[in-house]
Chains A and B, each alone.
Chain A
Amino acid sequence: MVHYIELIFTNLNGWGLPVIMLIIGIIEFSFGLYENHWTNNERILDIVCFVVPRIVVRPLIAYLGVLLLPTLLPNAKNIFAWVPFWWGFAIIAVGDDLTQYWYHRLHHQLPWLWRFHRTHHSAPYMGMAMASRQNIIYTIFFSQIYLTTTLVYLGLGYPVLFVTGIKALITTGAHSSIKWDKPFYTIRWLQPIGWVMERLISTPATHHAHHADSSDDGVGNYKGNFGNMFFIWDIIFGTGIITRQYPSGYGIKHYKQEEWYAQFLWPLFKSRRKGSELSAGGPMVGDSVPAVPAVVAEA
């Protein structure tokens, strides 16, 4: 039994998750859940962001880890291999996800970091297509990857296999445009499970709220709900809102459909769109720029 579970998670971390994402993505697309928002520019950006980190960035980080860690931490290989499985699981789950919470939160709360994360929020839709959508710099400095690689070197590789697998399923599920969490709020006997679930992990309701283009409806909370695998960090730090509803619009209000290469490679490539956050000399945070008042024609 354990062997089969091991096998599932080994394959999930390899080819399994991309295949699951492709299947769900096809279902979402077939049901028209991207509406008319998936333009050619968005499509190229989503596909490049799905492919490049998987075939270039992650293998490179793993290779550099294998190369550098024995030099940086000599005689430390497998030094913590004695840690019992469930304790290792808890240490990595907290270490990995709390680090990602902070990485994510700081990209929203420190204005100079926002443009590295903006690409993930510019998508005017939710779903598998945009789940991997990130600027290349954000992907390269994805801080918890380095923490997890180090913990693997120190001997916690076996629990890492399970934590990363479960985390990938939860974060993928939270980005899906299929609102799979809805029955947990509407079916009476599932509601107690739903109450615990929405506080413990990210769900479509809480994570969609983070991707909302506005907070005016009382549902959107794009300045909060930063949790990735665990939502409990948002509860502890008071950055979360739970409404059990889904926002009416996604993306960013000041989105200018910037070129896919500028969104993927900023600041190496800049956008030509006037007034864009990604253009040369553009504002650091677009919504901090006061909107030009509309001229009211008086009769």
Chain B
Amino acid sequence: MKTDKITQQRIIRDALISIVLYALPVLLMLLSFRISGERPWKQHPQATVKASR
């Protein structure tokens, strides 16, 4: 038994839209840093240790 063609096409279309949805909060966060000038990764001790290596 196979998935019908229309369902297959919708799955592919919606999977592509999902890539945008997954990325959206990350992109919005980066945009907010750009607007506000914040660089939180530079203040975090873990990030500082990694950067100094």
Tally A-B pairs: CB < 8 A: 57
Q: Which residues of B contact A98 (CB under 8 A)?
A: 18, 21-22
CB–CB B18/A79 < 8 A: no
A200 within 8 A of B: no
In angstroms, how far is the closest chain B Cβ from the Cβ of A163? Answer: 12
CB–CB A237/B14 < 8 A: yes
In angstroms, how far is the closest chain B Cβ from the Cβ of A117? Answer: 15
Chain A 69-94 interface mask (CB, 8 Å, partner B; 1/0): 00000010011011110010011001
Best-buried of B14, B32, B50 by chain A (most CB within 10 Å): B14
Chain B 1-36 interface mask (CB, 8 Å, partner A; 1/0): 111000100110011011001101110110010000
Report the bound CA distance from A90 to B22 in whole Å. 10
Q: Which residues of A contact B41 (CB under 8 A)?
A: 82
Report the bound CA distance from A285 to B21 in whole Å. 31
Who on chain A is nearest to B41 by CB? A82
> Which A71-124 residues have a C-beta within 8 angstroms of B?
75, 78-79, 81-84, 87, 90-91, 94-95, 98, 102, 105-106, 109-112
Q: Which residues of B contact A102 (CB under 8 A)?
A: 15, 18
Q: Select A111's contact among B2, B21, B32, beta carbons within 8 Å.
A: B2
Main secondary structure, interface of A, reads helix
In angstroms, how far is the closest chain A Cβ from the Cβ of B17? Answer: 7
B37 within 8 A of A: no
The chain B residues found within 8 Å of chain A, CB to CB, are 1-3, 7, 10-11, 14-15, 17-18, 21-22, 24-26, 28-29, 32, 40-41, 43-44, 46-47, 50
A237-B10, A288-B1 given; name 18 further pairs at CB < 8 Å. Answer: A75-B50, A79-B47, A81-B46, A82-B43, A82-B46, A83-B29, A84-B40, A91-B29, A94-B21, A94-B22, A94-B25, A95-B22, A98-B21, A105-B11, A109-B3, A111-B1, A236-B21, A285-B1
Q: What are 10 of the A-B contact pairs (CB < 8 Å)? A: A78-B46, A82-B41, A82-B43, A91-B25, A94-B21, A94-B25, A98-B18, A109-B11, A111-B3, A237-B14
